[in-house]
Amino acid sequence: MKRRTFLQGGATAALATSAVSMPAIAQTAPELKWRLTSSFPKSLDTIFGTAQTLCRYIAEASDNKFQIQPFAAGELVPGLQALDAVTSGAVECAHTPTYFYFGKDPTLGFGTGLPFGLNTRHQQSWWDFAGGEELVNTSLKKLNAYGIPAGNSGTQMGGWFRKEIETLDDLKGLKFRIGGMGGQVFARLGAVPQQIAPGDIYPALERGTIDAAEFVGPYDDEKLGFYKVAKNYYFPGWWEGSAMLHLCINLEKWNSLPKYYQALVRQACDAANIWMLAKYDAVNAAALKRLIANGAVLKAFPQPVMEACYKATNEQFAEIAAKDAHFKKALESMNAFRREQLPWWQVAEYSFDTFMISTRKG
């Protein structure tokens, strides 16, 4: 079944009631035109493409009565100010990772994913069934916004480094473009984190303004050309074991939507969520092969570095939790959920994947 057909059918089911027929609803549905600002440039056809896909789903399911026009980062506001534009009402909605705004409220980091946090499946499950939605949206409400998951990249790569990372000493003084709370962890270990919008990363790396940069994974990193100026490609991106994006909607605009439009938006976000993750799974493997063929050197972070980063992460979380009761509540919720899930994950998914990887012939 095509997703378009599924979405239209799902929206119809959500809108229909025993007393009101679909034609009657269609006749009374208001015509709306919204603007969406993305945190990403048009060149990133998977991330920005998710925003475009989401907007198309909403238009198709509403017979073009509800139209949202997507704008790339910089067309309306800079990428790192997308949520600010929603808060102020300058735009109706944004497609953005909430961890960009952890400086406003550290609990927003949980929306995208924290260092050594949940994997993609667990992140979605925690959001839907273990209190994640309420915890993050409580923080977004303070910023006059409401968030719905609308995409996920899966586990990301650790980034591009001009020099090898062999010991913790190699992190000292390292100017590293990294978003979210991962930057604070690296700072504890002596690195100098830089918050740079996606479109500005390559020039900074090329000029030597920064020594290393992380973004997403092979497909996007190839498009941005990082392999041309930094050859060492590290994994895993332990600060983004999952990277959930959200449609963040101005709270007044969300509350003013008819219930059937709210249901339509939720279903469109669900469909876009699936689209983005599936697209990354489809394109990253081939992109990684091309990067290696073009000279990228694939490296794992050394185990002592990983252990030190894990220790620093827990220290960072403890300090924040001691000052912020809501962050502490979210952290306890996430940790409890993971403790419950990992034994089952080890029995099922992990054991199956480990065996299948062992069968690789090349």
Residue 11 has pLDDT above 50, yes or no: no
The pLDDT assigned to 26 comes to 58
Question: Does position 3 have pLDDT exceeding 50, yes or no?
Answer: no
Integer CA distances (angstroms), 199 to 211, 295, 311, in order: 17, 23, 32
Q: Looking at the domain 159-240+292-334, which fold is it?
A: D-Maltodextrin-Binding Protein; domain 2 (3.40.190)
Is the pLDDT assigned to residue 12 strictly greater than 90? no
**Given this model, what pLDDT does residue 22 score?**
46
Q: Return the closest-CA partner of residue 194 out of 208, 175, 209.
A: 175
What's the rounded Cα separation, in Å, for the pair 142 and 323? 18
pLDDT for the residue numbered 169 = 97
pLDDT digits (tens, 9 = 90+) for 52-71: 999 999 999 999 999 999 99
At residue 117, the pLDDT reads: 97
41 DSSP assignment: -
Phi, psi of 67 (to 5 degrees): -115, 135
Crossing angle of helices 3-15/47-61, nearest 10°? 50
The pLDDT assigned to 339 comes to 97
Q: What is the predicted pLDDT for the residue at 20?
A: 39
Matching residue, tokens 């699936």: 274
In the predicted model, what is the mean pLDDT of residues 258-269?
98
Measured CA to CA, the distance from residue 311 to residue 302 in angstroms comes to 15
pLDDT of residue 16: 42
pLDDT in tens, 134-176: 999 999 999 999 999 999 999 999 999 999 999 999 999 999 9
Crossing angle (nearest 10°) for helices 120-129 and 132-142 = 80
Average pLDDT of the chain, as a whole number: 93
Q: Is the pLDDT of residue 10 over 90?
A: no
Is residue 41 within 8 A of residue 72, CB to CB? The reply is: yes
Contacts of 31 (CB under 8 A, 6+ apart): 65, 66
User: Could you give the CA distance from residue 292 to residue 106 in angstroms, rounded to a whole number?
Assistant: 36
**Residue whose tokens read 């929306």:** 111
Question: Does the structure show a pLDDT above 90 at 18?
Answer: no
Do 306 and 238 meet the contact criterion of CB atoms below 8 Å apart? yes
Does 304 sit behind a cis peptide bond, omega within 30 degrees of 0 on the bond before it? no
CA distance 248 to 306: 33
Angle among Cα 346, 277, 182 to the nearest 5 degrees reads 70
> 3-152+242-282 domain in CATH 3.40.50.2300?
no
What pLDDT band is residue 27 in, cutting at 50, 70 and 90?
Answer: low
Q: Is 24 a residue whose pLDDT tops 90?
A: no
What local confidence, expressed as pLDDT, does residue 103 receive?
Answer: 93
Question: CATH topology of 3-152+242-282 equal to that of 159-240+292-334?
Answer: yes
Window from 149-163, 192-206, 265-279, 339-353 with minimum mean pLDDT: 192-206
Comparing CA positions, the residue from 156, 143, 27 lying closest to residue 94 is 143
Out of 4-18, 208-222, 315-329, 348-362, which region has the weakest mean confidence (pLDDT)? 4-18
- List the domain boundaries for the chain: 3-152+242-282, 159-240+292-334
Rg value, the chain, Cα: 21
Count of C-beta atoms within a 10 Å radius of residue 271: 22
* Sequence-ordered list of residues with C-beta below 8 angstroms from that of 178, at least 6 positions apart, any chain: 159, 186, 193, 194, 195, 213, 214, 239
Mean pLDDT of 43-58: 97
Per-residue pLDDT band at 196 (split at 50, 70, 90):
confident
Whole-angstrom distance, CA of residue 355 vs CA of residue 351? 6
Residue range 72-88: mean pLDDT, rounded? 97
Q: What is the pLDDT of residues 305-317, one digit of tens each?
A: 999 999 999 999 9
pLDDT interval class at 197 (50, 70, 90): confident
Please report which confidence band the pLDDT of residue 199 belongs to, taking 50, 70 and 90 as the band edges.
Answer: confident
d(CA 123, CA 125): 5
The answer to whether the CB of 83 falls within 8 A of the CB of 143 is yes
User: Mean pLDDT across the stretch 242-254?
Assistant: 98
Instruction: Please give the helix or strand (H or E) that residue 147 lies within, else none.
Output: strand 145-152
pLDDT of residue 362: 67
Rounded distance between C-alpha atoms, residue 212 and residue 230, angstroms: 8
Please determine, for residue 131, whether its predicted confidence score (pLDDT) is greater than 90. yes
